[in-house]
Amino acid sequence: MKSVTVIGMGPMGQAMAGAYLDKGYEVTVWNRTPARADELVVRGAARAGSVEAALIASDLVVLSLIDHDAVDAVLAQAPETALAGRVFVNLTSDTPDRMRATAAWLAERGAVQLAGGVQVPPPGIGTPEAMTYYSGPEEVIESRRADLEVLTGVHYLGADQGLAPLYYQIGIDMFWTALAGYLHGQAVAEANGISADEFLPHAVRTLDLRYFLEFYAPRITAGHHEGDVDRISMGVASVEHVVRTAEAAGVDGSLPAAVLELFRRGVAAGHGQRSLTSLVEVLKA
């Protein structure tokens, strides 16, 4: 039987361990709070009594922890002999630099890291549409592809260990920003007696940004920020109306006010008559 060790029993780690059990793997689990693995143990997983025992149980180790401080603390509990020769599929969120540092630390101890950034929430693990960014040694990715595809599809980005977390964090940047905007808009809606269910179809249409992304991306690549379609000065006036509408409803206007401040910075930098896309240059500066 194929085997895998999963370290970290948050919702994502539990989903991953469960997916391997469903595919007939011998699964060993470890978590700082052992009780989080109780349901998986009932299903057939083996609960390791220590990090060392968890690592020894398989040469394939999936890490699903809160950040790389947790990764460092967990792996420090095992001797180097338990690390050597293993492939660590590190699906822990952190910065690209932290992922590169962990890869180097493991390599010094005879282990290999595959850096990953999962693109679905825990219920999506094991579903056909699920996908994970991966970076690291391509030959190891390919040799372990069948094991990785138990969890999700594989989107390989390259050998640089920092690429998977970089793409992941860029996506998370947009994800949280968009959802925060949705929640703010819904707060204004509810303050005016409009329920989330009632506004849902309008929210879905508004947040379908594919047209704008496909229109703006080639212009950004070409450095074409002319105000032939939109202008930041127009955006300033628009967001001012949003702030006033929110405050009139008794809703905290700090979120749209932050966007307004960014737009005003663009105007102050001389981009008032240029496209919204010129804010890319303002943000980079």
Do residues 193 and 149 share a domain?
A: no
pLDDT tens sequence across 45-103: 999 999 999 999 999 999 999 999 999 999 999 999 999 999 999 999 999 999 999 99
Do residues 100 and 65 share a domain?
A: yes
CB neighbour burial string for 84-117, b if at least 16 within 10 angstroms, e if fewer: eebbbbbbbbbebebbbbbbebbeebebbbbbbb
Residue 220 belongs to domain with CATH number: 1.10.1040.10
Do residues 10 and 147 share a domain?
A: yes
Residue 285 confidence (pLDDT) above 90: no
Do residues 130 and 45 share a domain?
A: yes
Q: What is the dihedral of CA 147, 152, 157, 161, to 10 degrees?
A: -60
Q: Give me the mean pLDDT over the 198-203 stretch.
A: 98
Do residues 140 and 222 share a domain?
A: no
Give the Cα separation of 35 and 96 in Å (integer). 32
Please give the single-letter amino acid code of residue 227: G
pLDDT tens sequence across 155-164: 999 999 999 9
Do residues 58 and 103 share a domain?
A: yes
Do residues 34 and 174 share a domain?
A: no
Burial of 60 (0-12, 13-18, 19+ CB in 10 A): buried
- At residue 138, φ and ψ (nearest 5 deg) are -65, -35
Do residues 92 and 189 share a domain?
A: no
Do residues 217 and 240 share a domain?
A: yes
Q: Give me the mean pLDDT over the 275-279 stretch.
A: 97
User: Do the beta carbons of residue 17 and residue 38 sit within 8 Å?
Assistant: no
Structural domain boundaries enclosing 66: 3-162
User: Do the beta carbons of residue 74 and residue 47 sit within 8 Å?
Assistant: no
Q: Give me the mean pLDDT over the 109-134 stretch.
A: 97
Q: Which of 145, 162, 179 is the last residue of a domain?
A: 162
